[in-house]
Structure 1
């Protein structure tokens, strides 16, 4: 856009008249306003005729003159001015601010200094009109960076006052008062895009072109690119169409963005037609264009078309770069053609291109997925040899690959090797290995690995402790699990309910039910409430140890103290008494469990009837033998 002064522009926006200077812009934009064209005929904000009798520093009508005079001095000090005009400054309003800015429009530094002084030192909130005047002054003086910052500040200031699209109207109307440059509309579009208001930027673009101004091709490119990112494909073509209509000549960057738009639409066949149009405009497709197409072909699985285009690149003297090869290698790997991908990788090295971590990671991932850990490790070593450290994803892929092959020891050895080479490993890698060892029922290997990395600064999380305790208990290594629990408590980390379940379950399975009961009391003291599974484990343990009295006491404690009514635990106790064939003991137990709040179920009655039958049978065999001889239905059939 060229610099211009157009007093007629206000007539093109007859519905966008501003209220008089000094009025709040948010009141109305439809009030009539005949904008004066020179500063001398600006209406005075203080028409009182008696003001001329006052000294200049106390005369409100002299406020603007005094400020402007001070700003023109080489040794301008606004703090001194503030002291001299202490009584007048409270009268400074948005109309006065505008008058001062208009007088300073040929000196952008003075205008900006005054504007910041008003905002920051006097704590006066300038109006939207004041902001727009400063924006015109800055853009006319080609201070575009400062104009962009001020435009962003304006958006924040009017966010809760008026719709942001009204800023365009104020910019247009305020241009009647001062020298201006249409580049201000470029700044407006870019500022909207900078804050993420793509829709407002698009509307501003439409309004700017409707007035007959042509935004820069850079602004158009930014707008198309942002519209593409929000997936507004239709509006991308609207912007491009308007560019041709108003005479904005696209550049290679424009065509590259639009190529991406075509690929996003999914109609890759239209790309050839578009490339021909691009060549008609005098632009040859560059490496960005070809890489965009290659990426689209590979994403859609059209590898043959991608390699055909790859061949065309060399014919057209566009040498494929690292991005081109990475895209093709990724496409081949996604199609499980890893050997071809590796051959292309070697060709890339032969052509003198230095691979990056992404290429290596892609090949390593694909080899690991195929279970070829040998080739993966060779690539990993080659990668490190080139000074490229693998990222967390690559290391995790290697660990998972060894895990799928059931070779976690090799994974641990790889960790040691990576640490020796100075490759940083994340905490998630260590967590994954410990959990994988536990899942493979190798808790001692996991514990040894944990001890080693803890010595190097690793801090295990709670879930790692929980997993180790569970794995040790599953292997009936309860003593080691208890030591680990003690370490947790010493470090201020309390075991959870699952850990206590594992510990108590392991203790009761190994004939140490009394220790399990003490552990239950400990967890209760720490505020962890036991549940029916712990009740069941303890009762089964005591019953297995023939300590029926203690089992009954546990059953009563869980019912009375914890409100846990577990019928399976109750039936386990009934079974033990029934197996002894003592009918009186069975009846007494039934009465006691009724008082505890248990209502015998079908299984309870089966066990009780079988116990009574055994007491009445001369042959005192095992209760389960009687159960085999007679089906349960026989005992429950009515007489």
Structure 2
């Protein structure tokens, strides 16, 4: 192969793609001595292409280091080359290798540090991201804008808004860098996420640069999320007056969604009309907002008409659209229609998600059809959809009410294999149900042990249920232990169960224990 390459190179017939392919083959074979044949062909673009073509980041790093050595045409890496190798190493979580490379090459820059911050943010390593931000602020003044924006975005995404505000304030006070519209918009997004709309508006009003469309849309969404549609409309009106940008489909759809969720459908339709009049075409999100709003009002027939209008405008309804209809039908008590719609979704090639299935599971539970609800849970698993724990809990409540405890226990044990872990309510529902039936003490104890092993603690209700069972079977020792546990955790004992417990102790001749418990109760 090396001989063929030499002949090709000598004739000058190697294209960029063939050079990349040949170098990659050498790197994969680990015959690194053959790389010297390519020294005279090195260019920044070739190096970048080779790096991007490597599946193994270590091969890319070896090639990068090899190309860094002296060569006949005095080739040297450009900042874009360093960006390419850094990006590849970080994408494979090789943080120390990437850091070592930049440290030894003395090529630390704002854009490269920004990549580190983003990569660490994706891993949830906030401390590491902040560490690299501190490196960025040691760069010459005014040259860390990308890093500032990156750390703010990472912190906002992680809901560390207080910390983001502290860094934002530091940037403004020192000043480390001249903030741009992205800087201000990111902190506005953070404030909106945690409902600090007053702070968001203060930043918006004091921005030294012109807000862009993303800034306006972020604020509009923040107000709508908090249910303050008047505040959202105020920002929207300012957007209409802006000379630098105009509302887009996101602006209109967000406001329409806000009106729809508030039940102000007339205002939502006015907004839709204005949207169309301004030459902005509604999209699926716009129609979904309107359809959901109609369904929340119980106007399912109108929602169906809106869906027809959506289709006539060349837009295809999606799972979210139909889920709103499912909810609307269930609100009206039209269970059969909801079930039929779910089946139609599947037959049309749609893939109902956990929310769509969950609506129908809950409806089956509401109309007391446990077998159908359980079957739908199993169908979800077969179709690759993990049922939510709330759907399981709705089924458990129904099974317990219907006295189908064995099925409840079976499903509780099968939950992990169905892609969902039981939560406290799952265990509590089934265990307390078992406690009301004679002869179930062994199953109760097994499930309690399983519950504790999975990190869930018993509450006062469950302890009282256990105490009642132990009293019923005459197990005074376990009953006594349960009472001590209840007192130790400062839970309240049910008066009726406690009276039964004391009677059991006296009946078993445990007079001292009974007196001791009564004395403890007096001191509580």
- Please give the TM-score of this superposition, normalised by the length of structure 2: 0.61
Deviation at 1:227, TM superposition (A): 2.1
1:205 aligned partner? 204
Larger gyration radius, structure 1 or structure 2 = 1
2:366 aligned partner? 369
Deviation at 1:134, TM superposition (A): 5.2
Rounded to whole Å, the distance in 1 between the matches of 2:284 and 2:148 is 34
Q: Rate the CA distance shift 1:491–1:194 in 2: closer, same or farther, 3 A.
A: closer
After the TM superposition, which residues 289-368 of structure 1 pair with which residues of structure 2 at under 5 Å, given as runs? 289-368=286-365
1:276 aligned partner? 273
Q: Rate the CA distance shift 1:429–1:314 in 2: closer, same or farther, 3 A.
A: same
Q: 3-state DSSP class of the match of 2:246?
A: coil
Q: 1:450 aligned to 2:444?
A: yes
The match for 2:190 among 187, 191, 194 is 194
Q: Rate the CA distance shift 1:516–1:306 in 2: closer, same or farther, 3 A.
A: same
Contact 1:462 1:493 in 2 (8 A): no
Q: 1:523 aligned to 2:517?
A: yes
Contact 2:431 2:447 in 1 (8 A): no
After the TM superposition, which residues 184-263 of structure 1 pair with which residues of structure 2 at under 5 Å, given as runs? 184-196=180-192, 197-208=196-207, 214-247=210-243, 248-263=245-260
Q: Rate the CA distance shift 1:262–1:444 in 2: closer, same or farther, 3 A.
A: same
2:502 aligned partner? 504
Deviation at 1:307, TM superposition (A): 0.9
Q: Rate the CA distance shift 1:484–1:273 in 2: closer, same or farther, 3 A.
A: same
Deviation at 1:188, TM superposition (A): 2.4
Q: Rate the CA distance shift 1:351–1:505 in 2: closer, same or farther, 3 A.
A: same
Contact 1:306 1:328 in 2 (8 A): yes
Deviation at 1:318, TM superposition (A): 0.7
Q: 3-state DSSP class of the match of 1:528?
A: helix
Q: Which has the higher contact order (CA 8 A, sep 6+)?
A: 1
Deviation at 1:253, TM superposition (A): 1.3
Rounded to whole Å, the distance in 2 between the matches of 1:201 and 1:461 is 43
Deviation at 1:354, TM superposition (A): 0.9
Deviation at 1:306, TM superposition (A): 0.8
1:145 aligned partner? 150
Deviation at 1:401, TM superposition (A): 0.8
The match for 1:485 among 455, 479, 482 is 479
1:156 aligned partner? 166
- Bigger fraction of residues in helix: 2
Q: Rate the CA distance shift 1:272–1:429 in 2: closer, same or farther, 3 A.
A: closer
Rounded to whole Å, the distance in 2 between the matches of 1:395 and 1:207 is 50
Q: 3-state DSSP class of the match of 2:520?
A: coil
Rounded to whole Å, the distance in 2 between the matches of 1:232 and 1:416 is 45
2:60 aligned partner? none
Q: Deviations over 1:210-256 (max 9, x none)?
A: x8x63211111111111222333223222222223232122221121
Q: Rate the CA distance shift 1:488–1:406 in 2: closer, same or farther, 3 A.
A: closer
Q: Rate the CA distance shift 1:134–1:497 in 2: closer, same or farther, 3 A.
A: same
1:400 aligned partner? 397
Deviation at 1:458, TM superposition (A): 4.5
Q: Deviations over 1:30-49 (max 9, x none)?
A: xxxxxxxxxxxxxxxxxxxx
Q: CA RMSD in A?
A: 4.4
Deviation at 1:380, TM superposition (A): 1.8
Deviation at 1:492, TM superposition (A): 11
Rounded to whole Å, the distance in 2 between the matches of 1:381 and 1:505 is 46
Rounded to whole Å, the distance in 2 between the matches of 1:148 and 1:324 is 31
Aligned length: 380
2:465 aligned partner? 467
Q: Deviations over 1:410-439 (max 9, x none)?
A: 42344355567675333432222221233x
- Please give the TM-score of this superposition, normalised by the length of structure 1: 0.51
Consecutive unaligned residues of structure 2, counting only runs of 5 or more, are 1-108, 115-130, 156-160
Q: 3-state DSSP class of the match of 1:444?
A: coil
